[in-house]
Amino acid sequence: MADRDGKKKTTGPVLTVAGQCHLSGISTSFLAALQNKLTIDNPKYHAAKKYGRWVGKNFQQKLFLYTLDDAGIIFPRGFAAQAVALCKTYMGRGPKIQDKRRRLPEINFSFQGVLRPYQKEAVADILRKHFGVLVAGTGSGKTIMALEVIAQRRQPTLILVHSRELLYQWEERVRQFLRIQAGLIGDSKYDIQPLSIAIVNTARKKLEELIPSFGHLIVDECHRVPASLFTEVVKTFDAYYMLGLSATAYRREDGLTPLIYLYMGERSHQVDPKKLAESGAVLKPEFIQRTTGFNYVFRGNYQTLMNSLTKNEARNQQIADDINREAGETAGTILVVSDRVAHCQKLAELLACKGLQASVLTGKQSALERSAIVGSLHRGEIKVLISTLQLVGEGFDAAGLTTLFLTTPIKFTGRLRQVIGRILRPAAGKQPKVIDYVDEQVGVLKNSARIRRQAYEQE
């Protein structure tokens, strides 16, 4: 019900903040503005239309990131700051805030590390806001910075991860820098402690038990938040503090980058890659682009192009020869990445014919098989690791990697930097090297190589 001025009959705008935000007592014009801001084009719908795929009822043309009730509008709490600013514009004043976030008795966490100057700067910016996103490249120490934030905020904390590997990486870092044993939730474990780490699949099934236990939520690799599973979990928690961590905070594959910030809050800090290199936290790699003789008439189907490229015998033999030569010249472990499982296996077969044993890491393997391979890698028992891009793109940590072979094109520079970061961790006498293949006879691949070259020059 609205009065003649178009304002709902209430005492004024009220913003209630919990797991989500509820804004009531606002004018119809302000409500319309909020609905407009919280409605975005559905990238999947437009991609389907662009490439002539059947849309039917599979995709909505728009994504509506709000719901309405009798009193007002409900939306993700990462949009709260923008909503307050809009309220001042449309209503002439900010809303009354009803803070219903969960704040629990303080916990005395003691951080035992020493931060680099760029890390101190990042932590200071994070602490200025109750929720937000830290964007920091591979090797910057996102985990260490987050642990210092946990110690400063002194709230029981839940860290959400998406994989078994990250679960145990975080456990190790918590033990190292906070000198406590974290509770583990996932991989057949369920132990709630003042600082707990949970695989999101397991957390979703235990929300009623988890939500009352934590006043601080940290989401690792938060660019995954737009995925329905993460969204469902994140919006349910009413923790007083919330922090997202990501090397890229960008979703090229589905265009849903805005949702990261709508759910997690605005970007609190972004670590400057130049400061990262100057600090000595990561090494500067040597970049080598090698030309192939691969030729193909591209007619718009990129997947068909990739099938042809990864099956090309001459190209694969060239790569195998280069890897074999490099293995005889470098003391460290060589990382070879491809976005095709069959390609990984083919390269391993070619290397075996040369007497060079390579370990293959793909999503086709069980978690136990992958864990065994990673364990061998950490013990320095693997000379050549061939992996799909996905498995080394996030949460993959191995200091002994020295040389990277990019055997299939990477179009997204954020992912490129993420993968390169795997070989940049400092070690005595280490000089990291990236070997990239340029298929210059295929226009689209030549252009992709040019974009990568520009990214290399910025490193």
Output 458 or 69, whichever has higher pLDDT: 69
pLDDT per position as a tens digit, 212-267:
999 999 999 887 766 778 888 999 999 999 999 988 766 655 567 788 889 999 99
pLDDT at 367: 81
Unique residue bearing structure tokens 């472990």 = 333
Unique residue bearing structure tokens 């998406």 = 162
Nearest CA to 38 among 214, 363, 259, 323?
A: 259
pLDDT per position as a tens digit, 374-431:
889 988 899 999 999 888 866 677 778 999 999 999 877 778 888 888 888 887 778 8
Q: What average pLDDT is seen over the chain?
A: 89
pLDDT at 429: 78
Share of the chain above pLDDT 90, in %: 65
3: confidence class by pLDDT, cuts 50, 70, 90: very low
When mean pLDDT is compared across 94-108, 207-221, 365-379, 432-446, the lowest value belongs to 365-379
Residue 268, SS3 per DSSP:
strand
Average pLDDT over residues 290-307: 94
Whether 19 has a pLDDT exceeding 90, the answer reads: yes
Whether 5 has a pLDDT exceeding 80, the answer reads: no
Output 29 or 222, whichever has higher pLDDT: 29
Phi, psi for 278 (deg, rounded to 5): -65, -30
pLDDT per position as a tens digit, 312-330:
999 999 999 999 999 998 8
Distances (CA, A) of 351 to 319, 362, 374, 387: 10, 17, 20, 14
The token pair at 44 is 């999947």
Whether 10 has a pLDDT exceeding 60, the answer reads: no
E strand or H helix that includes residue 169:
helix 164-177
Whether 8 has a pLDDT exceeding 50, the answer reads: no
Whether 185 has a pLDDT exceeding 90, the answer reads: yes
459: confidence class by pLDDT, cuts 50, 70, 90: low
pLDDT at 254: 56
Whether 46 has a pLDDT exceeding 60, the answer reads: no
Output 59 or 200, whichever has higher pLDDT: 200
pLDDT at 370: 87
pLDDT at 253: 56
Distances (CA, A) of 173 to 6, 86, 339, 372: 55, 41, 30, 20
Average pLDDT over residues 165-178: 94
Whether 89 has a pLDDT exceeding 70, the answer reads: yes
pLDDT at 389: 87
Q: Which domains does the chain have, with CATH numbers?
A: 14-99 (3.30.780), 117-276 (3.40.50.300), 283-458 (3.40.50.300)
Which residues touch 240 (CB under 8 Å, ≥6 apart)? Answer: 101, 102, 103, 130, 155, 215, 216
User: Is 259 exposed, middle or buried (CB count within 10 Å of its CB: 0-12, 13-18, 19+)?
Assistant: buried
> CB count, 10 Å around CB of 150?
25
pLDDT at 378: 86
Whether 437 has a pLDDT exceeding 70, the answer reads: yes
Unique residue bearing structure tokens 């340029």 = 438
Share of the chain above pLDDT 70, in %: 91
